[in-house]
Chains A and B, each alone.
Chain A
Amino acid sequence: MSDERHDVAGAEDDAHVSHYLCIGCPLGCRLEVEEEDGEIVEVRGQSCKKGEAFARQEHTDPRRVVTTTVAIEGSLWPRLPVKTEGDVPKDSVIDVCNLLHELRLEAPVTMGQVIAADVLGTGVDVVASRDLPRR
């Protein structure tokens, strides 16, 4: 495991190989992205086109949908499940969660209601994943 990580950096001259596990299907192809001077020169290891697209996206701009819960009062449960309405940069996932965990809501809330608009300037809204009526 640790050895694998070490020989990735600075393998041959400026060539740099990054490894990804394709999530496109259960075959789980091991993908390699070779980069030279900041440009992708080759994607290897995929068994279909989906894999190449996935590797390029993960390498240049990995994004994730974030789901977590927000504190809420006056409802059946003390937490409201929420989600980002689209994906946000992977690097911002923890910050988005930390921000959401500071919020305190009051029931009722309805599914799709915006809980945090344009969260952290990502252009993506965080919305409620369900109704939570006042009880």
Chain B
Amino acid sequence: MITPKPAQLQPRYDVVVVGGGPAGLAAAVGARESGAERVLVIDREPEAGGILQQCIHPGFGLHHFGEELTGPEYAQRAIEQTLERDVDVLSSAYVLDVASDRRLKVTSRDHGVAFLDAGAVVLAMGARERTRGAIRIPGERPAGVMTAGFAQKLVNLGGMLPGRRAVILGSGDIGLIMARRLVLEGVEVEGVYELMPHANGLNRNLVQCLHDYDIPLHLSTTVVHIDGRERVEKVTVAPVDEAYRPNMAKARDIACDTLLVSIGLIPDNELAHRLGLRLDPVTTGPVVTSTMETTRDGVFACGNVVHIHDLVDYVSQESELAGRGAGAYATGTPTPPDNVRLTPGENVRYCVPPTITTDREHTVYMRVTKPMAPCTLHLGDVYKRPLRYVFPGEMVTLKVRPRFLEGFHGGSLPVSIVPREEGGSA
């Protein structure tokens, strides 16, 4: 599905969405639903859909579309829903700057450099992968070291193989999925190495991507050196102790021509910095309100820009809300200010949004610091819910309904997740 291009750019839009991945597409839908007339999505790729276009495996859409889809299928549905609502999508384009009066400087293949005014802006640029530089692997700088997601793009969109014999560092889902992908394309995968004492990816991916193909997973082990002049020739791996210090006495060399790193995502926030938005030190994304508005009026943010999601379905839901907020702002419909602050307590790293209102229902996303099972989620002393388990890799979602907050008249509510005795009352 190649997205049609607008014949000409308007000088002014009600809502401009930066990023045409699942977040941006859903935000555009939300903006149209809340009354914005002219909505533009700006995307840097030649077609919209974002990372989903290269995620050819299934596992998407169970919550949002009620069936299991591959990434490209989810993308195509999201693009169709957006285009059905007369949203303009400008591809092969890049937002260079957003001024505080929401004037955007945009460069594109079809229109050169242009300035656009927006009634509201939605930041939906997604995330970037952490690279070798982020963890400072010593050694030479040969070709053949790349992020797992970049290798995925090479293989699945470009039809190119990254090498012949690969080592993968990091057991996140992208790394596991690429291990299988490379094997199916005839590339030898020597093994997956994980610094932590536990795997980071889903059990489903451990089974279906590693066990199925007898690819070994080495826990508490990391890459300590990269060798090769032009091209990777070998990497050195070593086990680590509890403080993650490598034991060089037990280091060993692995001959390979490719090292994929799958070591996490970070929100892409260059525009947020340029706009001077307040960022949350935990998520590293912009601080948002319950309508996903940032600390600058009329600038909204959603998806992996705000916090790293585990399911695209939640990205779509959160982003539609951001789009609605942006549409309401652009059409002059005021939304009541938040009057409840959610403060992370025991085993809660963060809550998004960090503030909510008592007058309507909110979906709050949170991440925990450590696994617990079984446990109880407490919202101050106004509400509690038993949970079978929580894991750091899996977002916890909580629908906060107005009736939970009856009799609560604003202020702070600590959110905590504490262990529950088996068989005890929640």
Chain A interface residues toward B at CB < 8 A:
1, 20-23, 25-28, 64-65, 67-69, 71, 76-79, 81, 83, 90, 93-94, 97, 101, 111, 129-133, 135
- Shortest Cβ distance from B47 into A: residue: A76
Say if the beta carbon of B6 comes within 8 Å of chain A: no
Provide the bound-state CA to CA distance between A81 and B46, in Å: 17
A23 and B208 form a contact (CB under 8 A): yes
CB distance from B252 to the nearest CB of A (A): 15
Extra pairs beyond A22-B203, A27-B388, A79-B158 (15, CB < 8 Å): A1-B216, A20-B207, A21-B203, A23-B202, A26-B202, A26-B203, A26-B389, A28-B203, A69-B56, A69-B156, A71-B159, A76-B2, A77-B157, A77-B159, A78-B159
- Chain B residues with Cβ under 8 A from A97's Cβ? 184-185
Residue B391 interfacial (CB < 8 Å): yes
Asked if B405 CB lies within 8 Å of chain A CBs, one says no
How long is the Cα–Cα vector from A60 to B368 in the complex, in angstroms? 37
In the complex, 19 of the A-B residue pairs with CB atoms within 8 angstroms, ordered by the A residue number, are A1-B216, A21-B207, A22-B203, A23-B202, A25-B388, A26-B203, A26-B389, A26-B391, A27-B373, A69-B155, A69-B156, A81-B56, A81-B72, A83-B56, A93-B212, A94-B184, A111-B72, A133-B1, A133-B2
Within 8 A of A (CB), among B1-58: 1-2, 46-47, 53, 56-58
B76 with A78: CB separation less than 8 A: no
Residue from B73, B373, B391, B393 within 8 A of A129 (CB atoms)? B73
| B385 at the A interface (CB under 8 A) | no
Contacts of B1 in A (CB 8 A): 111, 130-133
> How far is it, in angstroms, between the C-alpha of A135 and the C-alpha of B75 when the chains are bound?
19
CB of B227, distance to nearest CB on chain A (Å): 27
C-alpha spacing A93/B185, complex, angstroms: 12
CA distance A71 to B75 in the complex (A): 20
* Pick from A22, A69, A83, A132: contact of B58, CB under 8 Å: A83
Complex CA–CA separation, A44 to B303 (angstroms)? 40
User: Within 8 Å of chain A (Cβ to Cβ): is B85?
Assistant: no
Residue in B2, B56, B207, B388 whose CB lies within 8 Å of A23:
B207
Shortest Cβ gap from B422 to chain A (Å): 11
Q: Mark B397-417, 1 if CB is under 8 A from A, else 0.
A: 000000000000000000000
Contacts of A68 in B (CB 8 A): 56, 184-185
Query: What is the total of A-B residue contacts with beta carbons within 8 Å?
Result: 89
Q: With contacts A23-B207, A26-B203 known, is A79 near B156, CB below 8 A?
A: yes
Interface residues of B in 175-205 (CB under 8 A from A): 184-185, 202-204
Q: Within the complex, what minimum Cβ distance (angstroms) separates A76 from chain B?
A: 5
Q: From A64, A79, A81, A131, give the contact of B212 (CB < 8 A).
A: A64
Q: CA separation between A94 and B207, bound complex, in Å?
A: 16
Residue B233, interface by CB 8 Å: no
The smallest beta-carbon distance between B97 and chain A, in angstroms, is: 29
Query: Sorted from nearest, which 5 A-B pairs have the closest CB atoms?
Result: A130-B72, A81-B56, A23-B204, A78-B159, A129-B72
Within 8 A of A (CB), among B363-392: 373, 388-389, 391
Is B394 an interface residue, CB under 8 A from the partner?
A: yes
Q: Is the CB of A81 within 8 A of B70?
A: yes
Provide the residues of chain B in CB contact with A20, threshold 8 Å.
207
CB closest residue in chain A, given B211:
A21
Contacts of A25 in B (CB 8 A): 203, 388-389
B226 interface contact, C-beta 8 A: no
Chain A residues near B211: list those with CB within 8 A.
Answer: 21
| B208: chain A residues within 8 A (beta carbon) | 23, 64
